[in-house]
Amino acid sequence: MMSNLANIARPQIETLYQLNSPFCWSAVRIGWYGSMRLGLLNIGNLAMIYLFHLCTTDEYIVLASLLTTVVSLTIEGLATTDFMLYLALGTGVGSSLGMAMSRAIMSRITPDNKQGSVFAGVAVPEIVFSLVSSLGANAIYDATVSIYRGLTFFIMAGYGFIGIILCLILIWGQKGYKMSKDTTRITIHVAENDKHVVNGYQIQDQSYENSHHF
């Protein structure tokens, strides 16, 4: 959801941002920039998914996506030259992966008979967040452009930062749960081994007593 808040309204604000001083871009240049964004995002998303799946899990892909979002939005908010805008574009590769990978995580941990309910429940907040993001970002830009024209991007980066914190909590929680589960499994295994050993001694003792009895 934080990824949606940070990215959904971004193209709209970028257009207003690039039309304004000191950039004063033409409609043609803005169109080319938007096309480059779409191309880089699609290629970057595929590359990130492939590379990260070689060595890590979906949770870390979400984390990387949110990090690129925060870095890219921060650079764009500070931009004073065309180069910085293109730098923000380059560092934002993979920034749209957050929601897609979150769906993948939910699909993995949800039972098969609950998949439809989960995704239906997620779709409604997504629509609401998208609407709030679009309306809110435009209102914030209109209210703050005279104060600092890049402030809206910093606020959107803040949404991404909140997402990073939530993602880290999820990762740490999963690690703690896994460690607890492994510890429980080891304890049960040791207890079963001890039980077998005790039973073995009991059987030996009984055999010894029976042999001496005769």
| Between 7 and 19, the higher pLDDT residue | 19
pTM for the model stands at 0.79
pLDDT at 208 (0 to 100): 46
pLDDT of residue 203: 45
Region 153-168 average pLDDT: 92
Distances 38 to 1, 22, 29, 45, 182 between C-alpha atoms, Å:
21, 24, 14, 11, 44
Whether the predicted pLDDT of 186 surpasses 70: no
DSSP state of 146: T
- Residue 202 pLDDT > 80: no
Q: pLDDT class for 182, splitting at 50, 70, 90?
A: low
Bigger pLDDT: 181 or 202?
181
137 vs 4, higher pLDDT: 137
Residue 68 has pLDDT above 60, yes or no: yes
pLDDT bucket at 80, cuts 50 / 70 / 90: very high
Task: Using the predicted structure, report yes or no on whether residue 168 has a pLDDT greater than 80.
Answer: yes
pLDDT band at 177 (very low <50, low <70, confident <90, very high): low
pLDDT tens string 25-61:
999 999 999 999 999 988 888 888 899 889 888 889 9
Tokens 């880290």 found at:
168
Which pLDDT band, with edges at 50, 70 and 90, does 144 fall under?
A: very high
Kindly report, residue by residue over 100-141, the tens digit of the pLDDT: 888 888 888 888 888 788 877 777 877 887 888 888 898 999
Tallying the residues shown for the chain, one arrives at 214
Question: Distance between CA 92 and CA 48 in Å, rounded?
Answer: 12
Residue with tokens 């004073």: 80
What is the structure's pLDDT at 178? 67
Contact 166, 66 (CB under 8 A): no
Using DSSP's 3-state secondary structure scheme, residue 23 falls into: coil
Q: What is the largest CA-CA distance in the chain?
A: 108
HSE on the CB side for 8, CA within 13 Å?
20
CB-based contacts of 20, cutoff 8 Å, min separation 6: 145, 149
